[in-house]
A and B are shown apart, each in its own frame.
Chain A
Amino acid sequence: MSYATTHDDHHDHKPTGITRWLFSTNHKDIGTMYLIFALIMFFVGGAMAMVIRAELFQPGLQFVDPLFFNSMTTMHALVMIFGVVMPAGVGLANWQIPMMVGAPDMALPRMNNMSFWILPFAFTLLLSTLFMKGGAPAGGWTMYPPLTLQTGDALPFLIFAVHLLGISSIMGAINIIATVFNMRAPGMTFMRLPLFVWTWIITAFLLIATMPVLAGAVTMMLTDKFFGTSFFGAAGGGDPVMFQHVFWFFGHPEVYILILPAFGIVSQILPTFARKPLFGYESMVYAAAAIAFLSFFVWAHHMFTVGMPLAGELFFMYATMSIAVPTGVKIFNWMATMWKGSMTFETPMLFAVAFVMLFSIGGFTGLMMGITPADFQYHDTYFIVAHFHYVLVTGAVFALMAGVYFWIPKWTGHMYDETLGKCHFWLSVIFVNVLFFPQHFLGLAGMPRRIPDYNVQFADWNMVSSVGGFVYGFSQLLFVYIVIKCIRGGAKATDQVWEGAHGLEWTLPSPPPFHTFTIPPQVTDATAHS
């Protein structure tokens, strides 16, 4: 077991001023920066969603022209995926993983600094395209050529932004793997790791495996546009469908990159508030690994309608459905964890329970679309929009919110305002369903996605969905208020914070000193998480 050597830091001294943040190598500060960045981007992407829902409030073109509408759908997705869910996940990992495994910091602190500071630059590139000739990218976040090749000045900015985001993610992933593999405290065996750490290791491997694939795909697009190659241009003997294969070979593991850390968070919260150990710890680990492994063999279910051989359609259909097995294991284990527990419903628990239920709805609609012939109808309709918002908003985002409520007392040393937290939860959970549930009906009735105007038969449910969207969107401001209020003060949090909390991070003071576990703790079965 490796003992980390550190200078003996007796006083809790931190650098001050702007350099504390610019040159930070401290996992807690970098985690905070990631989380704040994600929160800001949440509102940037959310504002774009508001434009979309305002335009779709009624049939006809009201507010924006169709090209700008397409830019909004494209940018909303890119911002929410790469600017919100991924950085927020990394932020939580930065804060929690060293404390959970008993390490003084991340293994590669300078790289940690760089992987964060790349993000503002990448998003400056990406968001600056909104003001460019020809507009921001409008070909969808999936960037299919040939359409995306028609992007104006924004195209190289989009591509370089994707490159930077990929580099940042890979560095973050390497860091997490290096930390967990080398810096665990004595006695912290792999099978004693908290599940959040496990899901993050698996996510990190997915990132390393797939981000270069995305980088390759967009680089080929770059050379197609500027250097006369024809990887994806049919006129030059290229293959536009090849882009989709390469993109989704990245894209499907990517959706598990977004959701696996969420699984980890929920697996920490449910046992805490059910006051029971996580049911089936080992099967949870193996299920997460199985989901990640299978994610490499299902990509073509995103593109059943391109026309592929029957054998291919069958293979990808059955491979897709097989993912429901490990996912089902997780859902049943979560339910079994709660079963006969002495549960209390503080805000993190509310979000986590909502996650289990609403993510399952998203999972089921996913299964429906995995059936090839059914997908021939559902594909590219609002049904898929409803599906991925259930897994990404009520799934990933709810879990991230749950994680923040769960750990913020530890980070700040103050309890957040429970009443306001509950208000935030109920507003969110009600209106997110008003927002997304009707989109199932719209999709089944035949409304295609990515259109700024629609047939009047879709008018009613679109209006309902928009109302839900506005209330859900604005109620997130409450979250900002709660977080700020909690940072500035509040009831003093105990070290353990939650009565049922177990694990190394809860043995530290709240808030933890700037440097923690400079002397590694000894972990035994009794002090381990599960």
Chain B
Amino acid sequence: MNVDKPIVLPVGKKVRLLTTANDVIHAWWVPALGWKRDAIPGFINDNWAIINEPGTYRGQCAELCGKDHGFMPIVLKAVPEDEYNAWVEEMKVAQAEAASGADKEWTMDELKTKGEEIYKNTCAVCHQANGKGVPGTFPALDGGAIVNGPAGEHVKQVLGGKNLMPAFAGQLSDADIAAVITYERNSWSNQTGDVVQPKDVKAAR
């Protein structure tokens, strides 16, 4: 099992790992590091490790966390320190870009491209890549009432969640949410033509 964003850590150095959670309790476990530690909403747990060998380390969630508990991999890449520093720089640049994205006006195409990626990574497990959902459990977004209704309700649903649908306010940035909503409102048979901007999401928080 693989992940989209592996954790990158330097070798030969004592690193401190903090764990917490947003929704339910998980447990962070990479067997090669010698311990597991729960990630608990409202708590910050810490632990440390010194990784000697560079390479890829794998693990997975060890605390029952819902239907996808069996599908929650952890991938950790241990790299030499200079490589690690380069990665940190890269991430800083990416973060700055994302932050500036929150204020700018996006075009429909930009939002849809970004939105598709987020949809695949975050929403498709339940609503399926084709937007048809799973009858009886996860509603179809293709032709869905909220998706084709007022945009404000749609934003509220994704930020706050509802019943089995998790809240995404803490997991996704304003730009991410704006993008995925714009994508949903203009994909499959949905043709609302609405463009939701990051600032709209910010206002709704």
Contacts and interface: CB of A to CB of B under 8 A. Distances in A.
Interface of A: 65-67, 70, 134, 138-140, 144, 146-147, 150, 152, 234-235, 238-241, 305-307, 373, 376-377, 379-381, 446, 448, 450-455
B35 A377 contact: yes
Interface size class on chain B is 35 or more
A446 B62 CA distance: 10
Contacts of A455: 1
Contacts of A377: 31, 34-36
Contacts of A147: 24-25, 64-66
B38 to A, nearest CB: 5
Given A240-B25, A453-B70, A307 B45 contact: yes
B197 to A, nearest CB: 28
Nearest first, the 7 closest Cβ-Cβ pairs linking A and B are: A234-B42, A451-B70, A376-B35, A307-B45, A67-B67, A147-B24, A234-B41
B36 A380 contact: yes
A97 B45 CA distance: 50
Given A134-B164, A234-B42, A373-B35, 14 more contacts: A65-B67, A67-B67, A146-B25, A147-B24, A238-B42, A305-B27, A306-B40, A307-B38, A307-B47, A376-B34, A376-B37, A381-B62, A451-B69, A453-B71
A198 B23 CA distance: 46
B29 interface: yes
Interface majority SS (helix, strand, loop, mixed), chain B = loop
A305 B63 CA distance: 10
A70 B43 contact: no
A307 B1 CA distance: 27
18 contacts: A66-B67, A66-B68, A67-B137, A144-B63, A146-B23, A147-B65, A150-B24, A234-B42, A234-B43, A238-B42, A241-B40, A305-B27, A306-B45, A307-B38, A377-B34, A380-B27, A380-B64, A450-B70
A152 B164 CA distance: 8
B60 interface: yes
Given A134-B164, A241-B43, A448-B29, A150 B66 contact: yes
Contact of A454 (B62, B63, B64, B70): B70
Interface string B88-117: 000000000000000000000000000000
Most B CB contacts (10 A, CB to CB) among A134, A451, A452 go to A451
Contacts of B178: none
B117 to A, nearest CB: 24
B133 to A, nearest CB: 14
Most A CB contacts (10 A, CB to CB) among B37, B41, B65 go to B41
Contact of B67 (A70, A238, A239): A70
Contacts of B24: 146-147, 150
A190 to B, nearest CB: 44
Contacts of B71: 66, 453
Nearest to A308: B45
Interface string B147-169: 00000000000000001100000
B43 A307 contact: yes
A452 B68 CA distance: 9
Nearest to A306: B38
B141 interface: no
B195 interface: no
A66 B70 contact: yes
